[in-house]
Amino acid sequence: MPNAPGRKRQKKRAAGAAASLVAVAALSACGGDSGDDSTLTWYTNPDAGGQAEIASRCTEEADGAYRIETAQLPRESSQQREQLIRRLAAEDDSIDLISLDPPYIPEFAEAGFLAPVPEDVAERVTEGVVQSAIDGSTWDGEIVAVPFWANTQLLWYKESVAEAAGLDMDEPVTWQQLVEAAEAQDTQIAAQGIRAEALTVWINALIEGAGGSIIEETAEDPEDIVLGLESEAAVEAAEAMRSVATVGGPAFSTAGEDANVVDFEEGDAAFMVNWPFVWGRALDAVEAGTLDASVPEDYGWARYPRTVEGEESRPPYGGINLGVGAFSRNTDLAYEAAECIVSQENQTYYFLTNGNPASLASVFDDPEVLEVFPQAPLIRESLEAAAPRPQTVYYSEVSGALQRVYHPASSVDPGTTGEEAAELIRAVLRGEELL
């Protein structure tokens, strides 16, 4: 639901971890303040230069109305969150546009760090957008950010190995089927076993795929949050995780997305869950002469594995949405720029050149996109079915606790790990434990 015109959200600085960082006011002087109200600073996450190019395109299209400068945030999303919260807590007016990881959006919105999205803008930027990206831009029933690009994971497999294992990849497969195939073919499954945000992404997809949720009912008061980590769905998820760890290879506990794709390219793993960038990476490597063309020729792709047989999988949802800083000196221009950034033309460009899928559904029908990414229809289907990570102002605490208890995956005990994680989260939210 869009905001009412001109409606101001009440700042709730006490919510979430944001409050603990308010004192770091001195950082406000470090931004890209040009002293020109028509110059907008866009804080971007690291990419292959696509956001800088889009900024240049929109600046040219604005014909002098505004100019967008980009400032790059740290690589890790948790570090991006920390830097932005410190600066916004100090009411930094140099932050006009922000590339935000969706799980942190509730915290930013609840703290009053995002300028309200005008109703007409909210209507335009959500038209024709995949549902998971709309959900990821929503907090407390309102659109609080602009959907930009939306990401999801697919199941990537070596067609030759799947065939040898007797798997029918035209039909949905479960994690257990993949484990059995990997054991039979003496290969590995590449998944994100590293103690990082990627592990939370995996846990969330596993639990959602079993019909549950990490947080079954959110609330402003931590005492009222209902966790789903002791549910039957969480037990099913833990069983899948422990089973995959047995065929994850010797470095599974430190394996993230980048390590996974290396294992897949080099042949150590014949099955992998990962983001669509792996396809563009393989094609680029073939063109550069660093990867034999026969490797991607053996790539197959399918929807994310099922946690339990008979239950539709809920693939991960990721990507980036745009926030407008609450203390920006020109929020109107910032929203004008945001609409330019998320135009169909720019989302298509970003998908084709940086491998980051669009939030606009129509982009997946673009002939040029389909030629480069034959997986585009599956990516769109997966985005429509994707499950966002828990929507809570306490996301950082919840994710940190999950990573601590569920790592390494080989140590997960389906009978006790969920309960242990729930107890830790409750203790952290009560201030009785630190992560």
Share of the chain above pLDDT 70, in %: 92
What does the pLDDT read at residue 389? 95
Output DSSP code: residue 406. S
Model pLDDT, residue 240: 98
Query: Which of 423, 427, 422, 27 is closest to 212 using CA atoms?
Result: 422
pLDDT score at 116: 98
56 confidence band (pLDDT: 50, 70, 90): very high
pLDDT at 205 over 80: yes
Q: In whole numbers, what is the pLDDT of the chain averaged over residues?
A: 91
In this model, does residue 237 exceed pLDDT 80?
A: yes
Strands (E), 13-107: 39-44, 67-72, 97-100
Q: What is the pLDDT of residues 105-146, one digit of tens each?
A: 999 999 999 999 999 999 999 999 999 999 999 999 999 999
Tell me the pTM. 0.88
Give the pLDDT confidence score for residue 36 in this predicted structure. Answer: 61
pLDDT band at 434 (very low <50, low <70, confident <90, very high): confident
* pLDDT confidence band for 6 (50 / 70 / 90): very low
Q: Mean pLDDT across the stretch 97-104?
A: 96
Integer-rounded Cα radius of gyration of the chain: 22
pLDDT in the model for residue 300? 98
| Tens of pLDDT, residues 258-300 | 999 999 999 999 999 999 999 999 999 999 999 999 999 999 9
Residue 355 phi, psi (nearest 5): 75, 15
